[in-house]
Amino acid sequence: MTDAHTSEKRQPDARLIALIEDLRALPAEISWVEFKHNNADPKMIGKLIAALANAARLADQHFAYVLWGIRDSDHAVVGTDFEPAVQKESGQPLELWLVQRLQPAVAFVFRSIEHEGHRLVLLEIPAAAPTPVEFDRLSYIRIGSATPLLSEHPERLRALWAKLQPYAWETGIAAQFQTSDEVLAKLDYASYFDLTGQPLPDNRNGIFDKLTADRLIQPDVGAHWNIANLGAILFAKQLSEFSAIARKAVRFVAYDGINRAATVTHRHDGNRGYATGFQELIGYIDGLLPQNEHIGKAFRENHPLFPAIAIRELIANALIHQDMTITGTGPLIEFFKDRLEITNPGQPLVAPERFLDSPPRSRNEALASLMRRMRLCEEQGTGIDKVLTAVELHQLPPPDFREEGQAVRVILFAPRRFADMTQDERVRACYQHAALKFVSGQWMKNASLRERLGISEQNAAQASTVIKHALDANLIRSADSNHPRAGYVPFWA
């Protein structure tokens, strides 16, 4: 048996009975539902899976269904002899045979059910994602009671691709068939209204209308509800109640040293939704950070070891830009004696050296949009400009943005003098400074780089050396080739 499918035989539960009754109440020729008596031809089933999966996505349904044991003409319960768990095709179990011929993999489920004194079989088919489903390398679509090739209906093919493109993880289901009481018990709905600046409705219908409008919940069968991934990941009172996303909780670990072999001094395993737990997490980290004496132009001041705005923006970025489809891992924040590392699963959508200037892109657009509405992250872009500005103001070593395997890691370094920075760090600081100046409508000059790195005027030659190394690394270039002293811009300008 593979992960792509499963077969279940069990007594009917409340949701299955409610689902069957809802399906029976539908009018004839719904594109994402098919009723059968005993017809169990394997090729017919394969085509139906592909056609119904595609039709369900077109109809904005999460699932399509085939129900054996229901008479098609009047939807009466008549029972079936179809036994998917024991049927074979070409010497193989039926389900394995189907799996090998469906692309992309479809997590279909056969369920055997006793209802009204008859045995029924329900086939549950997830809607197509991220491409149209094919059976034996051909895509099908359901039109009325017909199952033609999708290629024969280009208008439906175009419409299907339009539906597939914006499909996102956020719309998936974290908890199914919840009563209204269970929804309100599992989601911190009061925080939702508070963070979005909306008055709390004085009745339950008003609450559910708002949660539905923001796609945090969805109606299910039998007057029940589904909690969407978006609702759970942002507003769960306890993420552990949602098994599919529990491992997406933010983890924080502090070490009494400079590597992971050092003693762990503090550990914080988040269990609240990102929105409800964000301020608590930031406050927890701020409370642990030691203070650093910053020498301003007129007096000495104590500041946290790392700028609070930098930590806030980088953590928000990690939450928003992670690849939610990578299971078993979530954002990780690690504090060492000399640095803070923030890691999120998923390869970056743009090269790390272009985080500052590239237009904001996110795998999780609904998550990003709602977090911006709640002012938990930068409104217009990635917030990297705020991070670099804060780092420069505190004259810290330049942050390091890395792609490491299937993850992105950002490292904030504790204060270190220019003399103690490596050449790579100096060059990276020069490039980031040039990029920050350029997006602010200015050019980097020797004097501005000196101020950024804390180099005195009498040591201007040190800044010139850093600029030369950055030029040699092709990270910056002259802003005006005819006037080399006019300043410098990043290589992509």
**Last residue of one domain, picked from the residues 183, 212, 245:** 245
Mean pLDDT of the chain: 90
Q: What is the arithmetic mean of pLDDT over 274-287?
A: 93
Q: What is the arithmetic mean of pLDDT over 270-293?
A: 88
Give the pLDDT score at 482.
86
**Last residue of one domain, picked from the residues 371, 391, 413:** 413
Q: Say whether pLDDT at 413 is over 90.
A: yes
Verify that 180 and 220 share a domain, yes or no.
yes
The DSSP line for 99-134 is HTTEES---EEEEEEEETTEEEEEEEEEPP-SS--E
Verify that 161 and 25 share a domain, yes or no.
yes
CB of 96 closer than 8 Å to CB of 45: no
**Last residue of one domain, picked from the residues 230, 245, 260:** 245
Verify that 227 and 358 share a domain, yes or no.
no
Verify that 396 and 260 share a domain, yes or no.
yes
> What confidence tens digit (pLDDT) does each residue in 429-457 have?
999 999 999 999 999 999 999 999 999 99
CA distance 338 to 188: 37
- The pair of structure tokens assigned to 2 is 């593979």
Q: Say whether pLDDT at 1 is over 50.
A: no
Verify that 29 and 95 share a domain, yes or no.
yes
Q: What is the CA radius of gyration of the chain?
A: 28
Q: Say whether pLDDT at 325 is over 90.
A: no
Q: pTM (2 decimals)? A: 0.79
The region of weakest confidence among 225-234, 286-295, 321-330, 482-491 is 286-295
In the chain, pLDDT over 90 holds for what percent of residues? 71
Verify that 46 and 94 share a domain, yes or no.
yes
What CATH code is carried by the domain that includes residue 107?
A: 3.30.950
Q: Say whether pLDDT at 181 is over 70.
A: yes
Q: Say whether pLDDT at 281 is over 70.
A: yes
CB of 208 closer than 8 Å to CB of 217: yes
Give the pLDDT score at 299.
43
Give the pLDDT score at 130.
84
Verify that 281 and 333 share a domain, yes or no.
yes
Give the pLDDT score at 13.
77
> What confidence tens digit (pLDDT) does each residue in 336-387 have?
999 999 999 998 888 888 888 887 677 788 898 899 999 887 655 568 999 9
Verify that 142 and 58 share a domain, yes or no.
yes
Give the pLDDT score at 379.
54
Question: pLDDT class for 289, splitting at 50, 70, 90?
Answer: confident
Verify that 228 and 261 share a domain, yes or no.
no
CA distance 76 to 300: 83
Verify that 12 and 161 share a domain, yes or no.
yes
Number of separate domains in the chain: 4
Q: Which residues pair with 327 in a beta bridge?
A: none
CA distance 113 to 121: 6
Give the pLDDT score at 3.
43
Question: pLDDT class for 166, splitting at 50, 70, 90?
Answer: low
DSSP 406: T
Give the pLDDT score at 297.
45
Verify that 424 and 405 share a domain, yes or no.
no
Give the pLDDT score at 380.
56
CA distance 290 to 441: 35
Give the pLDDT score at 199.
96
Verify that 203 and 81 share a domain, yes or no.
no
What CATH code is carried by the domain that includes residue 395?
A: 3.30.565.60
Q: What is the arithmetic mean of pLDDT over 124-133?
A: 92
Determine the residue type at 453.
Answer: L
Tell me the residue range of the domain where 181 lies. Answer: 171-245
Q: What is the arithmetic mean of pLDDT over 133-145?
A: 93
